[in-house]
Amino acid sequence: MLNYKTFLCSLCIVAALFSCKNQEEQKKTENKRPNIVFMMSDDHAYQAISAYNDKLINTPNIDRLASEGVLFNNASVTNSICAPSRAVILTGKHSHLNGKIDNLSKFDTTNITFPQILQDAGYQTAMFGKLHFGNNPKGFDEFKILPGQGSYYNPRFITKDGDTVIDGYVTDIITDLTINWLEEKRDKEKPFLLMYLHKAPHRAWLPAERHYKEFTKKEFPLPETLFDNYTRIHPEDLEASSPDAASKKYNLAPPKSRKSTAAKTAEMNILTHMILTNDNKLKDTTIQKLGIKERYLGDPTNRMNKEQKAAWDRVYDPINKEFAEKYPEMDDEDLMKWKYQRYMQDYLGTIASVDENVGRVLDYLDDNNLSDNTIVVYTSDQGFYLGEHGWFDKRFMYEESFRTPLLIKWPNKIKAGITEGEMVQNLDFAQTFLDAAGVNAPDEMQGKSLLPLLTGEKQAWDRDAVYYHYYEYPGEHTVKRHYGIATKDYKIIHFYYDVDEWELYDRKNDPQELHNVFYDPDYAEVKEMMMKKLEETRKKYKDSEELDKQFIKVYEDK
């Protein structure tokens, strides 16, 4: 019979062996190359994630990434438009080097992408959802991608075996494909890269039935700048705009107006440019009876089957009826507010399904012991305007479209619940993933690995400014060509091509970017410093006035 001391000794030995085994397993997991799950939505504004802002919607599943990892509150894009943003992410190179400057130009398939490199390094790779360009993404063992923008209901997918149509709601379907791949097709002996890419919440916003029934009953707070008049320069600054050192050095002309030409001429105002039928879901017959004339983009519900359309009409027909009754008494302010509410109801309704489905994927990783060695990233291809400055859409270097959500978790590597304020960009993803996988990045990649920020080695991070360049003009929404840089404190923008205008914003004291201080004498030194830094940054990233002219010529020759 064991005495008490012998029993305790045996118990300690068993506990020690168990502890050693656990430590060995943990060390083995930590030394393994991590899996990577890259989640990206299309046009998901950071303002519509409750980890950033809880005034519009609750997103508990996306928020899990913030509570279990790191939330970046100073992440941005290099070119705020769908396909170019994706090209930057895949190549780790700015638009002027990867060649995908706008949604119209073809993607140069001679570019080497990080999925190709990871695949060559032994990763199993898969992509499901919206790529936006190319019918055969390189570097993937399996893919099912939407053609172009894709459809919300009963979408068509491009696969290696040809096109297929899958009945249902697109956000649910993309998630079903993703989880099915993890469950049925994943090689458990290999690390994997899984790109899980949502169409939602891209225009024209069609929520799932379970969400439009809920969100069409909601009312949302109005943005402070909903009725912005785009006046950005104080009259005294115009009068005091005698040439300072920077103006003389760079031969800058004083402004002709207090209004920002680029902001004033952009066609993305909710009142005047949002379409009542396609965007606000009024029927063409409704607006015809009211005598309203506008551009018609077709019926956004045209892919619904009879049952789906009947369910839709039961909710949206009363909205049509109510609008028809109220419209004759509406002034512009009333109409703007009505369109904004309709916009938010549908836009946020599509995000509700994204959040639900992100939760499904996170739950699968947890339930199948994959979470501990998996990097999970949630981001958007750019930011988006949710009524700020009266706008929808993106494209500008102004904050709401320039800034993008970014949340990352990696258990055992990232301390949970961190908020990070360093300047990071979508340019950095490729090198981050390659670094995490222990693979050398090509020299031509221009980003920086985020690992120092993720693993507590912040002293190794030395970036103080990020670069931006937008090209698609003349084009949809008529946002003028511009480039610029942003630091934590300031942002400088140069609009060019058919204008030559400069804007400078104090990011800390004017977060809504309502006051262009480029001509303010009090900011003369800041202006000179930012002009010099912009010049240096352009050279660093191999951009130039010569390339500006080259891309303009390409555009004009189309």
pLDDT digits (tens, 9 = 90+) for 481-509: 999 999 999 999 999 999 999 999 999 99
Q: What is the mean pLDDT of residues 234-247?
A: 76
Q: Contact, 395 vs 203, CB < 8 A? A: no
* pLDDT value at 516 more than 50: yes
End of a domain among 411, 434, 456? 456
401 & 448 share domain: yes
Task: Judge if 502 and 378 occupy the same domain.
Answer: no
Listed range (73-87, 214-228, 239-253, 413-427) with the worst mean pLDDT: 239-253
Residue 545: domain span: 227-265+470-557
Same domain, 486 and 425: no
- Both tokens assigned to 178: 């993703």
Residue with tokens 């191999």: 542
Mean pLDDT (whole number) for 367-381: 98
In this prediction, residue 27 carries a pLDDT of 45
The verdict on 486 and 370 lying in the same domain is: no
What average pLDDT does this structure show over 395-420? 96
Looking at residue 21, what is its pLDDT? 47
**Whether pLDDT at 533 is above 90:** yes
Q: Give 5's pLDDT tier (boundaries 50, 70, 90).
A: low
In a domain, 328, yes or no: no
Does residue 321 lie in a domain region? no
Residue 378 sits in the same domain as residue 430: yes
Instruction: Look at residue 98 and tell me if it is in a domain.
Output: yes
Same domain for 162 and 44, yes or no, is yes
* Angle (CA) 45 211 156, round 5°: 80
**Number of domains making up the chain:** 2
Average pLDDT of the segment spanning 42-64: 98
Picking from 212, 216, 102, 63, the residue whose alpha carbon sits closest to that of residue 152 is 212
Find out whether 87 and 155 touch, Cβ atoms under 8 Å: no
257's tokens: 């107006």
Predicted structure pTM score: 0.93
Phi, psi of 518 (to 5 degrees): -60, -35
Return contacts of 278-286, CB within 8 angstroms, 24+ apart: 278/204, 279/203, 279/204, 279/205, 279/339, 279/342, 279/343, 279/392, 280/339, 280/342, 280/343, 281/316, 281/319, 281/342, 281/346, 282/319, 282/320, 282/323, 283/320, 286/320, 286/323, 286/324
Answer whether residue 28 is part of any domain.
no
393: alpha, beta or left, given left = phi > 0 and alpha = psi -120 to 50? left
Q: What's the whole-number mean pLDDT along residues 543-547? A: 97
Q: In which residue are the tokens 């909903």 written?
A: 226
Confidence category of residue 237, pLDDT binned at 50, 70, 90: confident
Q: Are 169 and 152 in contact (CB under 8 A)?
A: yes
**Are 180 and 72 in the same domain?**
yes
Q: Say yes or no: 408 and 527 in one domain.
A: no
DSSP string, 414-444: S-TTEEE-S-EEGGGHHHHHHHHTT-PPPTT
pLDDT > 90? residue 10: no
Which residues on neighbouring strands pair with residue 259, listed in sequence order? 231
Percent of the chain with pLDDT over 70: 94
Cα pseudo-dihedral 379, 382, 384, 388, rounded to 10: 110
Q: What is the pLDDT of residues 177-227, one digit of tens each?
A: 999 999 999 999 999 999 999 999 999 999 999 999 999 999 999 999 999
Identify the DSSP state of 182: I
Residues 6+ apart with CB under 8 A from 227: 333, 336, 390
Question: How far is Cα 209 from Cα 215, in angstroms, rounded to an integer?
Answer: 10
Any domain includes 333? no
Looking at the fold, whether 83 and 204 belong to one and the same domain comes out as yes
pLDDT reading at 245 higher than 90: no
What size, in residues, is the chain? 558
Packing angle, helices 332-367 and 306-326, rounded to 10 = 150
In a domain, 425, yes or no: yes
Cβ-based neighbour number of residue 459 at 10 Å: 7
pLDDT of residue 29: 43
Cβ neighbours for 268, distance < 8 A, ≥ 6 positions apart: 385, 391, 392, 393, 395, 477, 479
For residue 374, which of 405, 414, 406 has the smallest C-alpha distance?
A: 414
Answer with the one of 404, 423, 456 that is the final residue of a domain.
Answer: 456
CATH code for position 46: 3.40.720.10
Mean pLDDT for 440-447 is: 97
Residues 267-318: pLDDT tens digits? 999 999 999 999 999 999 999 999 999 988 889 999 999 999 999 999 999 9
Q: What is the pLDDT of residue 250?
A: 82
- Confidence at residue 6, expressed as pLDDT on a 0 to 100 scale: 57
Q: How far apart are alpha carbons 391 and 228 in whole angstroms?
A: 9
Q: Domain check: are 63 and 202 in the same one?
A: yes
Instruction: Looking at the structure, tell me whether residues 354 and 406 fall in a common domain.
Output: yes
Q: Can you give the pLDDT at residue 307? A: 98
The two tokens of residue 377 are: 């990233």
Cβ neighbours around 455 below 10 Å, total: 14
pLDDT at 510: 97
Q: Return the CATH number at 259.
A: 3.30.1120.10
Domain end marker among 430, 456, 482: 456
Q: First-to-last CA distance in the chain?
A: 93
**136 and 52 together in one domain:** yes
- pLDDT of residue 230 exceeding 60: yes
Each residue of 152-165: pLDDT tens digit? 999 999 999 889 99
370 inside domain: yes
Q: For 122-131, write each residue's pLDDT tens digit.
A: 999 999 999 9
pLDDT at position 26: 43
On whether residue 351 sits in a domain, the answer given is yes
**CB distance 423 to 463 below 8 Å:** yes
